[in-house]
Amino acid sequence: MDEHKVETEHTSQVESQSSKKKAPLNKYALACALLASTNSILLGYDIGVMSGAVLFIKDNLKISSSQVEILVGSLNVCSLIGSFASGKTSDMIGRRYTIILAAATFLIGAVLMGLAPSYPFLMAGRVVAGIGVGYSLMIAPVYTAEVSPAMTRGLLTSLPEVFINVGILLGYIFNYALAGLPAHINWRLMLGIAAVPAIGIGIGVLQMPESPRWLVMKGRIEEAKRVLRKTSENDDEANLRLEEITKAASLVGPSPSDSTGSIPSKWKGQGVWKELLRPSRPLRRILVAAIGINFFMQASGNDAVVYYTPSVFNAAGIHNRKGLVGVTILMGIAKTSFCIVSALFLDNFGRRPMLLLGTTGMAVSLAGLGLGSMYLHNSHHKPLWAIALCVVAVCADVSFFSIGLGPITWVYSSEIFPIRLRAQGSSLAVSVNRLVSGVVAMTFLTISKKITFAGMFFVLCGIMVLATIFFYFFLPETKGKSLEEIWVIFENKKDKTPSQPDKEMTERL
């Protein structure tokens, strides 16, 4: 993997110049990031709307709690298929068309779910939608990271998570608005209405440019140059970025049989899995960091808490259906608000501080939620203070998630892989994300019945303590670094400033 060790003087020039003054937010890069991230609304909407829809699906289709768990968790398990395939797909057809494929697949799934006459038909739609979600979760952050300038990459790559939270909030709102309709109609409208934005997203993405880094890997230098000029502050910065990307691609792009060192125009991602399965030491550190942060994101139980919030609050003493859905709207507002705050400050404070703040806050919140739930479980009366503690603790838990693990997982895992391995490496990490999410969602109620909701929340609290320790030791800071420079951080096991290039690397180049 010596060929992956990329450090250029041009990177240092760009970064040192950027560090002297705060880089302005490039409007074209922002527009690209917004268009790519809108796909994430579909996933968020499904998470939010399903939390209320399952209440009516269970009554209307007469399904058991186990079937509810399978229905809810199946989207995450099936998204494993999409996320695993998305890396190779995006290397072959490009980032932009992969985003369109994700929206189209989710569209089909939403229509199937909205028209479902039975549980098996509903599950079929869930499977299709899950594949689309898997594609979207990987490709939106990767595309955004590859288009964004280094100094604003944290903000722009956080947008998919912001849009997931906006989608969750919209799902809660539609739950509340449609809950009064007959039970055989309301949940079908809740699920099927997602087809409308999917159509708009597919059309909107056609206006986006392709990722400049993918274009360079395909040998389409002039097209990449045009995109970089639009996403850079000036032509000099665009030329420096292009030279940096081209050098990285020429070193890591060719197949082993290509002795010329030129960029392979017919490159389609071949040979990547061989390197991922037999990684060098720096790549192994990257894999540990990427897989670890994706594992803990879902092991935190956040998705399950969102899905099953009505059940949690029902156990806490809130029994009115409208009241249950109304409380989830409050949680959705808190979750979305703090995700926006995180995105705005991520490039100022850095990935590590906000990630450690988020996991520490989640651990405290889950401990409070466990205490409140334990008191309510052991009490015949449902005191208002205990119910209030649970509501506040849930809102705090999802808020701290939105500060740390929520947005930073997508930012971090999409930026640390070197150019040739980025798409398929990210797809591997997101596949772990989806697998753990599915397992947690499909076992949350069953385990909670065995050890109570309080016991479950204490377990999740312990997991967040472990996550905080892991992030402290294994995740270096990447704020302000170009994508091509981040490799050096993992190569040297420490964060070097851009003005101190690695001498050994410079000699190799």
CATH class entry, domain 275-492: mainly alpha
**Comparison of pLDDT for 262 and 320, the residue scoring more:** 320
The separation between CA 44 and the C-alpha centre of its own chain, rounded to angstroms, equals: 11
Confidence of residue 257 (pLDDT cuts 50, 70, 90): very low
Flag the least confident range among 113-117, 222-226, 241-245, 378-382.
378-382
What are the residue ranges spanned by the domains of the chain? 25-208, 275-492
Q: Tell me what pLDDT residue 319 has.
A: 65
Q: Is the pLDDT of residue 253 over 70?
A: no
Best-predicted range by mean pLDDT among 143-147, 333-337, 495-499?
A: 143-147
- Asked if residue 420 lies in contact with residue 272, where contact means CB atoms within 8 angstroms, the answer is yes
Confidence of residue 174 (pLDDT cuts 50, 70, 90): confident
Report how far residue 434's alpha carbon sits from residue 438's, in angstroms, rounded to the nearest whole number.
6
- The whole-chain average pLDDT of the chain stands at 82
Report how far residue 268's alpha carbon sits from residue 288's, in angstroms, rounded to the nearest whole number.
25
Residue 203, classed as helix, strand or coil, is helix
**Comparison of pLDDT for 124 and 165, the residue scoring more:** 124
Flag the least confident range among 340-354, 395-409, 483-497.
483-497
Report how far residue 403's alpha carbon sits from residue 399's, in angstroms, rounded to the nearest whole number.
6
Looking from the CA of 266 toward its CB, the CA atoms found within 13 Å total 2
The b/e string for 113-145 (b: 16+ C-beta within 10 A; e otherwise) is: bbebeeeeebbebbbbbbbbbbbbbbbbbbbbb
Domains 25-208 and 275-492 share a fold: yes
Report how far residue 214's alpha carbon sits from residue 328's, in angstroms, rounded to the nearest whole number.
40
- Asked if residue 154 lies in contact with residue 479, where contact means CB atoms within 8 angstroms, the answer is yes
**Comparison of pLDDT for 106 and 265, the residue scoring more:** 106
Interior CA angle at 479 toward 138 and 496, to 5°?
120
Instruction: Give φ, ψ of 204 to 5 degrees.
Output: -65, -40
Pinpoint the alpha helices (H) of 279-350.
281-299, 302-307, 309-316, 321-349
**Which amino acid, 440?**
V
- Asked if residue 453 lies in contact with residue 377, where contact means CB atoms within 8 angstroms, the answer is yes
What mean pLDDT is predicted for residues 117-144? 90
**Comparison of pLDDT for 495 and 322, the residue scoring more:** 322
Confidence of residue 508 (pLDDT cuts 50, 70, 90): very low
Q: Can you name the CATH fold of 25-208?
A: Growth Hormone; Chain: A; (1.20.1250)
